[in-house]
Chains A and B, each alone.
Chain A
Amino acid sequence: EVQLVESGGGLLQPGRSLRLSCTASGFTFGGYAMTWVRQAPGKGLEWVGFIRSRTYGGTTEYGASVKGRFTISRDDSKSIAYLQMNSLKIEDTAVYYCSRDASGVLPRAFDIWGQGTMVTVSS
């Protein structure tokens, strides 16, 4: 079964750091780009960022609200994508989803999604 499972969410104070993991199974992880999307409580979806497959350099792109604070990486040997979140703000509170991108080179079609992990930033 093709599956993505996020982990690592929790409650933490503003300014702290947190790393989320997205573990893939049921498909050749290294052949796909991966995207992170978040959803604040009661709000819509927001694109966080994207990492290309190694075939396309494994490079990353980020949304404006997280650029410079968040970093996406991947470990193809473990089939895991990571979202490192630094200098967290209260407005980063959200459910964070990872998703598989059907394209390898640019983010355009997120065809498999995890169940999400909640991150709460509060003082």
Chain B
Amino acid sequence: QSALTQPASVSGSPGQSITISCTGTSSDIGGYDYVSWYQQHPVKAPQLMIYDVSKRPSGVSNRFSGSKSGSTASLTISGLQAEDEAHYYCTSYTSSKIVLFGGGTKLTVL
């Protein structure tokens, strides 16, 4: 199975909203509501931001939200802040009982 497809980069100005897409197939994103999103700052471990498509772990800002339509999941960050600049990765559980990661998206806050 191939990795999930994410845009290589997105950018936005402080205060704006941005959306990162994550495209899969009916065997992963389209077949399960088990999509997660992770934020990774340079030389840091990833941090869980969204799980089960749209749930936020305790402590994660409500500026982060997730959704899914068909085989494409999306992460939206509203009220963009400088500290949001990082790499973002999506994951999905699959019919092969494994997890696929997206290739990652670099978010630049202008």
Contacts and interface: CB of A to CB of B under 8 A. Distances in A.
Nearest to B103: A44
Contacts, number: 65
Interface of B: 1, 3, 34, 36, 38, 40, 45-48, 51-52, 57, 87, 89, 91, 93, 97-104
Interface in A97-123: 97, 102, 106-111, 113-116
Contacts of B40: 45
A44 B1 contact: no
A97 B43 CA distance: 12
A44 B9 CA distance: 13
Interface stretch (A10-18, A23-31, A60-68, A82-90): A60-68
Main secondary structure of the interface of B (DSSP, over half): strand
Contacts of B89: 44-45
Contacts of B38: 45, 110
B99 to A, nearest CB: 4
A46 interface: yes
A97 B89 CA distance: 15
Contacts of A108: 34, 36, 51-52, 91, 93, 99
Interface in A28-53: 35, 37, 44-47, 50
Contacts of B57: 109, 111
Contacts of B87: 44
